[in-house]
Structure 1
Amino acid sequence: MILDDFLVPTKIGLFCAYGGFYLDPKEIVKDAVISHAHADHAITGNINVYCTEATSLFMKQRYKKFAAGEFHVFAFQQPFTLNEVKISFVPAGHMLGSALVLMEYKGIRYLYTGDYKLQPDATCEPIEFVKADVLITETTFANPDTSHPDAEEEIRKLSTTQSNIMLGAYALGKSQRLIRLISDHCPEKRILVHHSILPFVKVYESLGVNMGKYEVYDRKVMKANPAGMIYLVPPLVYRSYIRAINVVRVFATGWKHLQNNNELQLYISDHVDWKDIILTIEQVQPLQVWTTHGSGVQLKEHFQNILDVKLLN
């Protein structure tokens, strides 16, 4: 029997009383099961963190000695148990080390997605679908009008200008994907990487990911080459140089409102869009869908009288 209270939304995050743990908590807890290393899912200071190897390395890089009291690292498909809940990580395709969290309790399988994507990405493990009785899915872009374009087609937009480009992107996950995409599909461009992004790139490489061709940012190099350069920077730097001259400003994101005032629009998202959520539901074949991280209202309307959809937000 599916337990309606297996996961309970709290101000800290989703809590599983049967296992005594939180999923991606927003405040420090004793036991935290972390789906991936983005800061809105993986905070500093939890006593026990259960995650994949890549997630632990990214957290240690970002938070140093305050990353966690203790890391409990598990490979994909390697089960472990918290109280009576059996847990295993399944590749989520969102970024390197990102995981769907499969929880099994009294014969019922609950699958929490964290953030996930179905698009191909050479810098992370591709998503793997598993069957579950309950799918707890993110709904960041759960809108029938939202459809993410092909990332390879989008990245080729950067070849439509000879001018130097300031490319804004999140330092972890997005930046590494962009470096590889540019290296593969815009080989004529030179990629200069901001120093704050480089440590994460090095973690990717230490885990065997081929990042392609890039260079450490050098102001002299950028000034000496008025064309063909891409300067990859994190959001804070991108916003700080709002009046940067002699560059085309581009920010890589799936959010339309973040494309405002950009000279070239680059719609590259690391989340599922509407059709991908529908496909995931078809593959997982759940009896119920619980929604989180966004609005699930349109998903509930879409499956009315077909599938039980519960909004956890």
Structure 2
Amino acid sequence: MIIDDFITITPTGLYCVYGNFYLDPQQPVAEAVISHAHGDHAIGGSKNVYCTAATKTFMEHRYRKFAAVDFHTKQYHKTFKINDVTITFYSAGHILGSAQVLMEYKGIKYLYTGDYKIEPDHSCEPFEFVQTDVLITESTFANPETKHPSPVDEIKKLNETKANIMLGAYALGKSQRIIQLLNTHCPTKNVMVHHSIMPFIKIYEDFGMKLGSHKMYDRKIMKNNHEHQVYIVPPMVFHSYHKAINVVRAFASGWKNLQQQNGISLYISDHADWNAILETIEKVKPKQVWTLHGDGKQLKEYFNNRLKVKILN
């Protein structure tokens, strides 16, 4: 029997009382299961942190000695237990090391996706469809009107201009994906990267991800070459140089508001859109769907009486 309160939302984050642990807590806790290393899912300071090896490495870079008291790194597909709950990690396809968390308790399976995407991405492990009784899915873009375009078609837009491009992208995950896409589909572009992104690139490469050619940003190169230079910068730098001259501006994101006032729109998202969420539900065959991190109302309306959809947030 599915337990309605197997996962509950508390001020500290998602809590599993039956295993006495938190999923992606927002405050330090004794037992934290971390899906991936983005700052809105992985904070420092918890006592015991269960995650993949890549997530551990990212957290150690970002939080240094305050990342955790003890890390317990787990491979995909290898089961472990926290109290009475059996847990297995599966790839979420979001960024390197991102994990779906399958929790089994009294014969019932509960699958927490964390952030995920199902489309191909050669900069990280591919998404895995895992059958479950309860799918606890992010619903960031759970809107029938939202359909992410092909990332290949989007990145190829950059071939339409010879001008230098300042490209905004999140330092962890997005930047590495963009480097890989540029190398594959924009061979005439010289890729340069802001210094704050370089440590994350090195971690990707240390874990065997081949992203392709890139260099640390060199102001002289940008100044002396007025064509075919792409400078990848984190959001704070991108927004602080909103009046940068002699460059075309682009920001890689699925959010429309981040495309405004840019020279090129670049709709590249690392989250599941409406069709991807429906495909995931179809393939994992849950008896119930619980939604997080967005608005699950339209999913609930879509399935009506065919499938129970519970909105957790």
Distance 2:241 2:48 in 1: 39
Q: Secondary structure, in 3 states, of the residue corresponding to 1:294? A: coil
Deviations 1:54-91 (A, max 9, x none): 10001111111111111100000011100100001000
Q: Which residue of structure 2 aligns with residue 279 of structure 1? A: 279
Unaligned runs of 5+ in 1: none
TM, length-normalised to structure 2: 0.99
Corresponding position: 1:258 with 2:250: no
Percent of residue pairs bearing the same amino acid type: 62
Structure 2 equivalent of residue 35 of structure 1: 35
1:169-190 CA-to-partner distances (Å, cap 9, x unmatched) read 0000000000000010001000
Aligned to 1:269: 269
Name 2:178's counterpart in structure 1: 178
| CA distance in structure 2 between the aligned counterparts of 1:154 and 1:103, rounded to whole angstroms | 37
The residue number in structure 2 matching 1:148 is 148
1:251 aligns to what SS in structure 2?
A: strand
Mapped to 2, the partners of 1:124 and 1:184 lie a distance apart of: 15
Match of 1:231 in 2: 231
Q: Partners in 2 of 1:241 and 1:124 — Cα distance?
A: 30
| Alignment of 1:13 onto 2:13 | yes
- Quick one: distance in 2 between partners of 1:133 and 1:16? 16
Q: Distance in 2 between matches of 1:12 and 1:112?
A: 17
State the Cα deviation string for residues 83-114 of structure 1 (Å, max 9, x = none). 10000100000011000000000000000000
Name 2:82's counterpart in structure 1: 82
Shift >6 Å, 4+ stretches:
none
Aligned equivalents of 2:27, 2:231: Cα separation in 1: 35
CA shift, 1:258, in A, is 1.0
Alignment partner, residue 201 of structure 2? 201
Name the structure 1 match of 2:130. 130
Tell me the distance in 1 between the aligned counterparts of 2:285 and 2:99.
19
> Tell me, what secondary structure is at the counterpart of 1:245?
coil
TM-score by length of 1: 0.99
Match for residue 308 of structure 1? Answer: 308
Q: Distance in 1 between matches of 2:153 and 2:137?
A: 27
Q: Distance in 2 between matches of 1:163 and 1:36?
A: 35
Post-superposition offset of 1:193: 0.4
Q: Which runs of 5+ in 2 are unaligned?
A: none
1:62 matched residue in structure 2: 62
Q: Alignment partner of 1:176: what SS?
A: helix
Q: Give secondary structure in 2 for the equivalent of 1:110.
A: strand
Deviation of the 1:11 alpha carbon: 1.6
CA–CA distance in structure 2, aligned partners of residues 46 and 182 of structure 1? 37
Residue 169 of structure 1 is matched in structure 2 by 169
Q: Distance in 1 between matches of 2:31 and 2:174?
A: 28
**For this pair of structures, how many residues does the alignment match?**
313
CA distance in 2, matches of 1:238, 1:99: 29
* Matched AA of 1:153: D
CA distance in 1, matches of 2:43, 2:100: 18
Give 1:25's aligned residue. Answer: 25
2: CA distance between counterparts of 1:11 and 1:152? Answer: 40
Once residues 146 and 106 of structure 1 are traced to their aligned partners in structure 2, the CA distance between those partners, rounded to angstroms, is 37
The answer on 1:218 being equivalent to 2:218 is: yes
In 2, the alpha carbon distance for the partners of 1:8 and 1:118 equals 26
Q: Distance in 2 between matches of 1:294 and 1:276?
A: 15
Tell me the secondary structure at the aligned position of residue 270 of structure 1.
Answer: coil
In the alignment, the residues of structure 1 paired with residue 159 and residue 46 of structure 2 have an alpha-carbon distance, to the nearest angstrom, of: 44
Q: CA deviation at 1:211?
A: 1.1
